[in-house]
Amino acid sequence: MIDKMLRAAELGLCDHCLGRHFASMGHGLSNAERGMAIRVVWTMLTGRDYRPVGPEECPVCRGLFSKIEKYAEMAIEALSKYEFETFLVGSRIPEELEEADRRVAEELGTEPEPLKRELNREVGKIVSARTGKEVDFEDPDIKVIIDARFDFVELQVKPLFLYGRYRKLVRGISQTKWPVPALGGRSKYGTSVEELVAGPVMEAAGGTEHLFHGMGREDVDARMLGNGRPFVLEIRNPVKRSLDLEALREEINRRAGGMIEVLELRPATRRDVERVKSLRPPKSYEVGVRIEGGVGREELEDALRRLVGVIEQRTPTRVLHRRADLVRRRRVYEAELVDLKGEEAVIRVKCEAGTYVKELMHGDGGRTRPSLAELLGKKVEVKYLDVVWVHDEEVE
């Protein structure tokens, strides 16, 4: 190993690069300190004059490590407008530097610490000392990326995730924004649950973009009542991360003016997004229908009992323009009569996620079987549909 050190010292490497090639030796030393020690040993054993080599003279890093302080200051300046507790430094360096390092390693038979790792660590130490923030290798609030190819710093800010449940109290608004170019990008339905929830949060967090992840969605003309539908709001590039969530919840509800109500709001993670998107809990609905010609209570209740079980639904005609024409099997768990007055009935249905409840009632020309219309032998018209409970507690 001494022979390798002496050969390395002959190559004119800076202390950082010299030390990197023997990074496993000298516990507790920085690479620069390790390189200096090797150079001292070389001086003592060869009897030649000690001559330090600065990074600007180094044939490998070519001045890269002379910019550590500069990059740290650039990082601190970029970070200054953000609220964060943890960070991590990464880098992109010119390929020719890495190639020069590989050639030296092959010549010496060493396994050096990568250039990037040295640069990241040394810049990170300065940033941490001056900001008081901690390095986090697993899930930092912000990643600082040093682009040494073009001498600039960019930030990758971890999104802010908030979990909540919403109730949609009016009909005629969509869950997510539905921009229409002819309307100048405004939503097709005027507004959406997403916009009503995200507006106050974006203002408070100072983000640049938002995404709304719902546990399924209800039709535009359906209300979402009961315990509310779970969602995760994702805010991209937030300037602030510590928010008064209860005050935000109250502000969302105030501005919504009775259109929606957020029942809870709490911190979340990307894992919550995956959970919300993947879970498909049963749901309970209240459906208002008109049965042409009317029907007796006993006959209707008997038909609803026969509706419970497995049904087959071919893709409804109303969504054929955007979904594949397939036959899907779904389970109806409960179907009961709530009220009956003449031709008008109110029915409560609990069914598997993905069930087309309107078609379960009117049959869609035989594309859903069985349906209430088929079992009664009468035309059934859906007057309204409300989601009254999301049974996510059953699939936790």
All domains of the chain in start order, with CATH = 2-157 (3.30.2300.10), 160-278 (3.30.70.2510), 283-394 (3.30.70.3190)
- Does residue 219 have an active-site annotation? yes
Determine the Cα–Cα distance for residues 189 and 170; give it in Å rounded to an integer: 12
* Other beta carbons less than 10 A from residue 336's beta carbon: 12
Closest CA to 174 of 197, 207, 201, 204: 197
**What's the mean per-residue pLDDT of the chain?**
94
pLDDT of residue 180: 61
Question: Does 181 score more than 80 pLDDT?
Answer: no
SS3 content of the chain, % helix, strand, coil (to 5): 40, 30, 35
Q: Could you tell me the pTM of the whole model?
A: 0.88
Determine the Cα–Cα distance for residues 305 and 78; give it in Å rounded to an integer: 65
pLDDT of residue 395: 75
Question: Does 275 score more than 80 pLDDT?
Answer: yes
- Segment 21-41 shows an average pLDDT of 88
Closest CA to 308 of 372, 238, 396: 372
pLDDT of residue 179: 65
Instruction: Give residue 46's pLDDT band: very low, low, confident or very high (50, 70, 90).
Output: confident
Instruction: Give residue 10's pLDDT band: very low, low, confident or very high (50, 70, 90).
Output: confident
CB distance 91 to 120 below 8 Å: yes
Closest CA to 330 of 371, 362, 379, 366: 371
Question: Tokens at residue 337, please?
Answer: 């009569």
CB distance 288 to 336 below 8 Å: no
Question: Does 42 score more than 90 pLDDT?
Answer: no
Which is the catalytic residue, given 3, 219, 386, 392?
Answer: 219
pLDDT of residue 214: 96
Q: Report the percent of the chain where pLDDT is more than 90.
A: 84
Q: Report the percent of the chain where pLDDT is more than 70.
A: 97
Instruction: Give residue 382's pLDDT band: very low, low, confident or very high (50, 70, 90).
Output: very high
Determine the Cα–Cα distance for residues 280 and 283; give it in Å rounded to an integer: 9
Determine the Cα–Cα distance for residues 124 and 114; give it in Å rounded to an integer: 15
* Other beta carbons less than 10 A from residue 121's beta carbon: 15
Lowest mean pLDDT segment, chosen from 168-177, 205-214, 387-396:
387-396
Query: Maximum distance among all alpha carbons in the chain?
Result: 112
The size of the chain, in residues, is: 396
pLDDT of residue 25: 83
Question: Tokens at residue 321, please?
Answer: 């323009």
CA distances from 176 to 88, 162, 267 (A): 34, 16, 21
- CB-side exposure of 107: number of CA atoms within 13 Å? 14
Instruction: Return the ∠ at Cα 91 (arms to 121 and 10), rounded to 5°.
Output: 65
Q: Which residue has the tokens 């940033």?
A: 127
- CA torsion sign for 143, 146, 147, 150 is positive
